[in-house]
Structure 1
């Protein structure tokens, strides 16, 4: 059962593959904002996945975050989330990210519960 207060976490290490330079979000070899966002999303979907019925998943629909501190290569990064609202199929999370020194980002994230097959079929229908 999905309930407010559920918490999740995801972790990574800053490598050349998840830098701003590599991801096209800048020119520097520091942890990319898109990588931080993806890590926050990973924490959120993994938090609720065990409570969903088979064949159901979640998709991200809104992300409102600030990336407040740069993280250099080889540092460990952790994203944490807390489910703060369950509104039918709409899920709202607070999200935070930290490196080994302290906070690097925070905000809110929204996901919707979907039927996996139906969602993919609708997306594939765009091809005609």
Structure 2
């Protein structure tokens, strides 16, 4: 059952693929902000997935974070999440990311609980309404 206080973790090593030049977010070979955000989302998503009903998942809807310290290639990164608020299908998490020397970013992340099949049908329906 979903409960405030549920925590999650995700980790990775900084390598070429998750640096700013390869993510298109800058030209210095350091851990990219989009990579940090993805790791934070992963921690939050994985933390609640086993607690959802069959056929449900969560989707990220909002991220408000700061990325305060650069991390070079080769270092380990970990992200942590804590479920702070449950408002119907809306879940609010505090998120933080760390490298081997300390905090590199933190903020708030929101996810919504959705029915997988219904969500994908709605997304796929956009194909018939795309504008040129």
CA deviation map 1:4-49 (0-9, x unaligned): 0000000000000000010000001000000000000000000000
What does 1:1-128 correspond to in 2, within 5 Å? 1-128=1-128
TM-score, scaled relative to structure 1: 0.99
What are the ranges of 5 or more consecutive residues in structure 2 without an aligned counterpart? none
Structure 1: where are the runs of 5+ without partners? none
TM-align CA RMSD:
0.4
Scaled by the length of structure 2, the TM-score of the pair is 0.96
Shift of residue 54, structure 1, vs aligned partner: 1.2
